[in-house]
Structure 1
Amino acid sequence: MLPRWARFIHPDAPDVHSKYVPTNDKIFKSPFGPFPPTAPNLNVHEFCFPPDQPLPPDYDLFINAVTEERVTLHQFYNRVCSLARVLRYDGPNPLGLSRSPKDDTENGEILGLFSRNHIHYPMLAHACFRAELAFGGISPGSTPFELWHVLRKMQITSLVCHEALLPVVREAIKLGKGPADQLQLVLDTNKIIVLSDDASLEKVQGYQTVEALVRQGAKFPEPRRKLVGGDKLCYLFQSSGTSGLPKAMMISHKNAIHSGLQGMTAAAMTAKFAGVEPLTHQTVLGIVPAYHSYGMILWILRVNLQPATNIMMPKWDIELALKSIQKHKITLLPLVPPLVRQLALSPLTEKYDLSSVVSCASGAAYLPPDVAYQLAEKLPNKTPIPSGYGLSEAASIASPPMAGIFGLNPSEPGTIGFLLPGMEGRVVDPDTLEDVPKGTKGELWARGNVVCMGYFRDQKATAELFAEPGWLRTGDLVMRDAEDRIHYLDRLKEMIKVKGLQVAATEVEDTLLDHPERLVVDACVAGVDNGRGDGSLFPRAWVVLSPEGKKQGEATVARKLNEYVAQRLSKHKHLAGGIELVDSIPRTPSGKMLRREMRDMYHQRIKASKSQSKL
């Protein structure tokens, strides 16, 4: 019999000891080769739990880092089956759910998941997969205004909400149906379900709990059926795309399966190269949020593909993280750059035993090389922290592989490595849309089964995302070197990364211009260096005062604008980089705002000020 991991490697995959030959073709491919074949109509749940295979021996799958509550693999599977029976539109259906749409040309049931990291969040997602119920992951940091927008954008008809977030839901509902010329609020308040930390509760504030539904589903018989997946809509993600308020990005079952499969393929082939058993048990620190594509891969799309015990943290607490590493002998640390920096600089690391950590990886944003080296010095193997590359629209595109595999030279920090299994890439001039030669900077375009279907009910944004059929415009400036290694240079999109989270400059600008007292007539927002050296940015605003703004004065306007942004937008979108008054905002002849120019002028001024202070 073939080992369990054999299904993750294509029969014609290159030998791990062979030598990858770079190409001068405009399209370059992954050294790992193609994805292994999968059934065309495969459902995510049946990919993770093949119906013809028994479950492996039981183990702790999720552990709450705070309370020590545990869910084993077998408990997880049984709970998923029970809840899925309740959520099926063609089953007993006590909630009265309808069939989910296959894509954005149809109406249907879309369940919102509105919760922080929780040991039962992955169970909710897998129950949806098994019930063929499309869902939308929503940031638990959303303000009522942001939630109201996302509920409308995703056309959420039913909602699972953590009990702590019920007040936000109530305030969002009070905002009404929405403008007639936009997608309207369709949430049925009779279909709100509460995720409670108290498993004994049947209801919270009049709403049924998830646990009550699991207990109810356990009493229903299990019908025999073949699940449907493939190109059908699986879930929606929040994404800002290139601009504006968050959009709803469509992920099919095929997209999701290959996002989970990709890491398994790379890990299995890397283990073969290293001469060790592939995909052995890991213990993982669970801080990356599950509603984010990075967390979706880690906590949901890889369940039962590789044995792992996940120590889930509801929110970041550096000492709790260190205690968890020591207590549970955590082997893998998936992090984002600001957390890498905190661990690298914190003296608390000296108090705890980190000897169990085998590997650490960073994602969701650019990781500065110095940060990668600093944390490595505190970990047993001293290897610089690698930084993978992906985006919401294609969860994983490139990553630094193990040095030597396929004869590849090391990918030093500052590069994003080589294309991951199943991916193809191009580097294109963003203005002419012509491919550029190797060694020349351009926009990275990507193609592969992980690339999303497009934006839900937003044809214009989808057309901007795909300049050519199948080719995703990443909006990131890169350089492809002689070995086909990719070097990240800068962002082309008007997006600001704050602690790995996206901030659309236009969303903050629109909020400033929308102040009820009309204090400004023009506004520009860009990301500026936060001064901490972790690669993260702070949003900064440059504003042109209106007559009313001039009348009230600079200090009052700044205070009122900050208060309004804080009221309307999540914390990571607040203007931590400050507000600056200017006479005008520079623009191109066609009217495009020169945000990059404003940002660069600010950085030059700060740099000159620091140089002057040293004299």
Structure 2
Amino acid sequence: MVHDILKPHWSRFLGPGAPAPRTYKYEPHSRPIFSSPYGPFPPIPSDLNIHDLCFPPNNPLPPDYDLFINAVTDERVTLHQFYARVCALARVLRYDGPNPLGLGKSPASDREDGEIIGFFSRNHIHYPMLAHACFRAELVFGGISPASTPYELWWVLRKMQITSFVCHEALLPVLREAMKLGRGEADKSWSLLLVLDPSKIIVLSDNSNLDSVSGYPTVESLVRHGSSLPEVPRKLLGGDRMAYLFQSSGTSGLPKAMMISHKNGIHSGLQGMITATQGARFMGVEPLQTPQCVLGVVPAYHSYGMILWILRINLMKLTNVMLPKWDLELALKSIQDYKITMLPLVPPIVRQLAQSPLTAKYDLSSVLQAGSGAAYLPPDVAYELAKKLPQGAAAPIPSGYGLSEAASIASPAAPGIFGLEAAPPGTIGYLLPGMEGRVVDPETLQDVQRGQKGELWARGHVVTPGYFKDPKATAEIFAEPGWLRTGDLVMRDEKDRIHYLDRLKEMIKVKGLQVAATEVEDSLLEHPEGLVRDACVAGVDNGRGDGSLFVRAWVVLSDEGRKRGDKAVAEMLDEWVKSRLSRHKWLTGGVEAVDSIPRTPSGKMLRREMRDRYHARIKMEGRSKL
């Protein structure tokens, strides 16, 4: 029997020979290349389009239900409404259709030029509809952070070669200021010019009755127009063709643009379906039959949000309660009112929920599952939040692992499935379905033995083809064909679990020895008297000019810490670190109390910003003494 990934049954997510979750026992080994306990992906047609995976052409829609809910207004979009709106908008966006906007054909790869539409919006219940309409119209889109300044937006518009644009009405002033910066002829740092056509700007308005805003057509006006057009049956193209662009986090300079193909997106979406299906089989229940209600706080433009809100639509019954922006009390009220069962989170939100007294005001008993992604999750908060949820401290919040370049690489698995042991906080678990890994010495590029530190390399269908129109940057992340250099320092243990240690570029070199900032940060957060709510550690100039650094910590004090005072806490933390860690990891650069630690919207700590602020201050103090 030929495997059919489009058949309407959960078995489509399991390929021929998929391991049985109760009887198959994964055997760890010491060979350099190790693979996922879940086995390979099921067979996929080489030209499959993401939209056709989610809505197979010959399958009827399941019974209707609420797919997206606006947590602020309670506005709802059902599954059937979503599909009808996607089809209507796609008719308008097709380059070979009526095409009222005059859109061109999109490029299949970065070797071509063509139409690329930008999305510039906070989380919105119609954002996923825009994405699926683009898939269906074979129109490449690029997701852009709504927190961008005009300069950052201008930079990303050029990086992604955005030719048309969907902008939320509240962000139009940012777009206007970005457009004033010109085409970029004078910018010597990057050769690509601004190519956005002002006549191809569309506004995403919160008022569905408006046909235009500031002279631009609204998304709703295009949906209404598309609803009156006839459907033209066609075979959608996908596979290795470019589907969308991701904006990188920008933690190491200005953002890059990551290419994601339909094949990448399909396999990223499938990983969660495979793990959910196998997890249910392990528990002895029918897979994917229990409806779930999900809290929508992860940004849709981010790789994590793309999986949650776009790549798994109609693969299982999910109602997504979307928050336009993070609001702690609104989130807690939404959990209580909508009986939310799943909390996909990022580390800053995990920490805030764990430490806020507001959680005691709301009923969180509906929550069946919580998880964290997008950045490193310190073990202390993984346990702290779990205590407040029905799962309890015995089931700490698990932390998955992925990158913009490969959205999902590893995650903790249910203890016992495939004979696997639990992956405690501090680890990122086991390789996800279809993935292979290696741990490599970043200097010699030779594989290291289990138990030794090295850079994680990953291979699988979720890995990006590279950076858009940036062959130099692409070459840097692929030392060998197909193997993505993640830039993360890890250790693979004897069970083939992966322990995250730090970003390689954020390793602190002290007298030739490497210090992982996260190890020191975890020690500070684990002080027995709970003096610290948040911590950032980085290497600062030791003033000797020998290339060695001092280890410095910036901490946000807890209520107990504030009672003790900055000076006393600094002394206590210094002694604590000395009692726990090797000499080269001691806080020779000092401890400073601050109000907050800067982070990206996805939760990545901006250590470089703290370090640069410190160096700038020291430089100014030095000048003032002259």
Give the TM bin, normalised by the shorter chain.
0.7 to 0.9
> How far does residue 114 in structure 1 lie from its aligned partner after superposition?
0.3
Amino acid aligned to 1:580: H
Amino acid aligned to 1:157: T
- The 3-state SS of whatever aligns with 2:202 is strand
- The 3-state SS of whatever aligns with 1:136 is strand
Q: C-alpha deviations, 1:523-566, integer Å up to 9, x for none?
A: x9999655369xxxxxxxxxxxxxxxxxxxxxxxxxxxxxxx9x
Aligned partner (choices 49, 52, 55) of residue 43 of structure 1 = 49
2:129 is aligned to 123
Q: Partners in 2 of 1:330 and 1:582 — Cα distance?
A: 46
Q: Partners in 2 of 1:212 and 1:571 — Cα distance?
A: 38
Aligned partner (choices 59, 69, 77) of residue 65 of structure 2 = 59
Aligned partner (choices 232, 239, 246) of residue 255 of structure 2 = 246
Q: Partners in 2 of 1:449 and 1:262 — Cα distance?
A: 11
> How far does residue 240 in structure 1 lie from its aligned partner after superposition?
5.0
1:405 is aligned to 417
> How far does residue 179 in structure 1 lie from its aligned partner after superposition?
2.7
- The 3-state SS of whatever aligns with 1:376 is helix
- The 3-state SS of whatever aligns with 1:390 is coil
Question: In 2, are the aligned partners of 1:241 and 1:461 still within 8 Å (CA)?
Answer: no
> How far does residue 245 in structure 1 lie from its aligned partner after superposition?
1.3
> How far does residue 24 in structure 1 lie from its aligned partner after superposition?
1.3
Question: In 2, are the aligned partners of 1:33 and 1:421 still within 8 Å (CA)?
Answer: yes
Q: C-alpha deviations, 1:209-259, integer Å up to 9, x for none?
A: 000000000011000100000000000011157843111110000000000
Question: In 2, are the aligned partners of 1:114 and 1:137 still within 8 Å (CA)?
Answer: yes
The 5 A counterparts of 1:156-175 are 156-175=162-181
The 5 A counterparts of 1:451-490 are 451-490=463-502
Q: C-alpha deviations, 1:491-534, integer Å up to 9, x for none?
A: 1135999xxxxx9x9xxxxxxxxxxxxxxxxxx9999655369x
1:16 is aligned to 21
Q: Structure 1 pair 571/491, CA: closer, same or farther in 2 (3 Å)?
A: closer
Aligned partner (choices 376, 379, 384) of residue 389 of structure 2 = 379
Q: C-alpha deviations, 1:404-430, integer Å up to 9, x for none?
A: 001111111110100000000000000
Q: Partners in 1 of 2:550 and 2:404 — Cα distance?
A: 22
1:539 is aligned to none
Q: Partners in 2 of 1:580 and 1:150 — Cα distance?
A: 28
Question: In 2, are the aligned partners of 1:286 and 1:312 still within 8 Å (CA)?
Answer: yes
1:414 is aligned to 426
Q: Structure 1 pair 387/473, CA: closer, same or farther in 2 (3 Å)?
A: same
2:103 is aligned to 97
2:323 is aligned to 313
Structure 2, gaps ≥5 residues long: 508-516, 519-535, 539-548, 559-597, 620-626
Q: Kindly indicate whether residue 248 of structure 2 is the aligned counterpart of residue 275 of structure 1.
A: no
Q: Kindly indicate whether residue 109 of structure 2 is the aligned counterpart of residue 87 of structure 1.
A: no
Q: Partners in 2 of 1:323 and 1:293 — Cα distance?
A: 26
Question: In 2, are the aligned partners of 1:242 and 1:493 still within 8 Å (CA)?
Answer: no
Q: Partners in 1 of 2:56 and 2:409 — Cα distance?
A: 26
Amino acid aligned to 1:306: M
Give me the CA root mean square deviation. Answer: 2.6
Q: Kindly indicate whether residue 294 of structure 2 is the aligned counterpart of residue 284 of structure 1.
A: yes
Q: Partners in 1 of 2:448 and 2:554 — Cα distance?
A: 30
Q: Partners in 1 of 2:80 and 2:397 — Cα distance?
A: 34
> How far does residue 11 in structure 1 lie from its aligned partner after superposition?
1.5
- The 3-state SS of whatever aligns with 1:53 is coil
Amino acid aligned to 1:295: G
1:445 is aligned to 457
- The 3-state SS of whatever aligns with 2:496 is coil
Q: Structure 1 pair 532/486, CA: closer, same or farther in 2 (3 Å)?
A: farther
Q: Kindly indicate whether residue 309 of structure 2 is the aligned counterpart of residue 299 of structure 1.
A: yes
Q: Partners in 2 of 1:15 and 1:422 — Cα distance?
A: 16
The 5 A counterparts of 1:186-585 are 186-239=195-248, 243-279=252-288, 280-382=290-392, 383-493=395-505, 529-531=554-556, 575=609, 578-581=613-616
> How far does residue 579 in structure 1 lie from its aligned partner after superposition?
3.2
> How far does residue 52 in structure 1 lie from its aligned partner after superposition?
1.2
Question: In 1, are the aligned partners of 2:250 and 2:256 still within 8 Å (CA)?
Answer: yes
> How far does residue 54 in structure 1 lie from its aligned partner after superposition?
0.5
Question: In 2, are the aligned partners of 1:235 and 1:250 still within 8 Å (CA)?
Answer: yes
2:562 is aligned to none
Q: Structure 1 pair 6/355, CA: closer, same or farther in 2 (3 Å)?
A: same
Q: Structure 1 pair 528/56, CA: closer, same or farther in 2 (3 Å)?
A: farther
Q: Partners in 2 of 1:527 and 1:67 — Cα distance?
A: 45
Alignment length, in residue pairs? 528
> How far does residue 4 in structure 1 lie from its aligned partner after superposition?
1.5
> How far does residue 582 in structure 1 lie from its aligned partner after superposition?
7.6
1:112 is aligned to 118
Q: Partners in 2 of 1:301 and 1:178 — Cα distance?
A: 34
Identity of aligned residues (%): 71
Amino acid aligned to 2:465: M
- The 3-state SS of whatever aligns with 2:615 is strand
> How far does residue 281 in structure 1 lie from its aligned partner after superposition?
1.2
Amino acid aligned to 2:137: A
Q: Partners in 2 of 1:373 and 1:295 — Cα distance?
A: 24
Q: Partners in 2 of 1:29 and 1:571 — Cα distance?
A: 27
> How far does residue 572 in structure 1 lie from its aligned partner after superposition?
8.6
Q: C-alpha deviations, 1:271-297, integer Å up to 9, x for none?
A: 100112212210000000000000000
Question: In 2, are the aligned partners of 1:243 and 1:494 still within 8 Å (CA)?
Answer: no
Amino acid aligned to 1:102: A
Q: Structure 1 pair 525/66, CA: closer, same or farther in 2 (3 Å)?
A: farther
Question: In 1, are the aligned partners of 2:376 and 2:604 still within 8 Å (CA)?
Answer: no
Amino acid aligned to 1:416: I
Aligned partner (choices 131, 138, 145) of residue 144 of structure 2 = 138
> How far does residue 576 in structure 1 lie from its aligned partner after superposition?
6.0
Question: In 2, are the aligned partners of 1:242 and 1:494 still within 8 Å (CA)?
Answer: no
Question: In 2, are the aligned partners of 1:19 and 1:406 still within 8 Å (CA)?
Answer: yes
Q: Structure 1 pair 575/461, CA: closer, same or farther in 2 (3 Å)?
A: closer
Amino acid aligned to 1:6: S
- The 3-state SS of whatever aligns with 2:457 is strand
Q: Partners in 2 of 1:242 and 1:571 — Cα distance?
A: 8
- The 3-state SS of whatever aligns with 2:407 is strand
2:80 is aligned to 74
- The 3-state SS of whatever aligns with 1:294 is helix
Q: Structure 1 pair 532/22, CA: closer, same or farther in 2 (3 Å)?
A: farther
Q: C-alpha deviations, 1:370-396, integer Å up to 9, x for none?
A: 101111111112121000000110000
Q: Partners in 2 of 1:296 and 1:142 — Cα distance?
A: 18
Q: Partners in 1 of 2:344 and 2:235 — Cα distance?
A: 34
Question: In 2, are the aligned partners of 1:326 and 1:354 still within 8 Å (CA)?
Answer: yes
Amino acid aligned to 2:379: P
Q: Structure 1 pair 312/581, CA: closer, same or farther in 2 (3 Å)?
A: closer
Q: Partners in 2 of 1:242 and 1:210 — Cα distance?
A: 32
> How far does residue 3 in structure 1 lie from its aligned partner after superposition?
6.4
Amino acid aligned to 1:297: I
Question: In 2, are the aligned partners of 1:163 and 1:196 still within 8 Å (CA)?
Answer: yes
> How far does residue 14 in structure 1 lie from its aligned partner after superposition?
1.2
Q: Partners in 2 of 1:571 and 1:384 — Cα distance?
A: 20
Aligned partner (choices 4, 9, 34) of residue 4 of structure 1 = 9
Question: In 2, are the aligned partners of 1:162 and 1:195 still within 8 Å (CA)?
Answer: yes
